[in-house]
Structure 1
Amino acid sequence: MDLVSVDCKFNGNYFDLSAGESSKIAVKKESLSEHLRLDSFKVQLTLRGVFDIAS
């Protein structure tokens, strides 16, 4: 999990989920290196899974 061009601190950067499970990850606004609106945050957010690393 990462943001394309903005730094921040996630409350968790690694988690193990089985099929059908979900997890909530939080980012405090004050940890962002620059102000982002929610729509911009969603565009910046990138996720990677084990499948992405292996291919």
Structure 2
Amino acid sequence: MGRDNKQGKSKNKSSLPQTPKNEKIAPQAAKEETAQELLELESLVAKNKQKNRQK
């Protein structure tokens, strides 16, 4: 049953999308950016909790 599978190899394998060099960032910068976003999210959650308590 598997021998007559006519799908063959993928022709897209050699042309995978790449990130342009001008859009790449250092791993440490990515970690700092993620930490900053998490901090902002935490502060927004705290503000929303305070709003809900005041109602």
The verdict on a shared fold, with TM-score over 0.5 as the criterion, is no
Max radius of gyration: which structure?
2
Work out which structure has the larger RCO, using CA pairs closer than 8 Å and 6 or more positions apart in sequence: 1
Return the structure number with greater strand share.
1
Q: TM-score, normalised by structure 2?
A: 0.21
Q: TM-score, normalised by structure 1?
A: 0.21
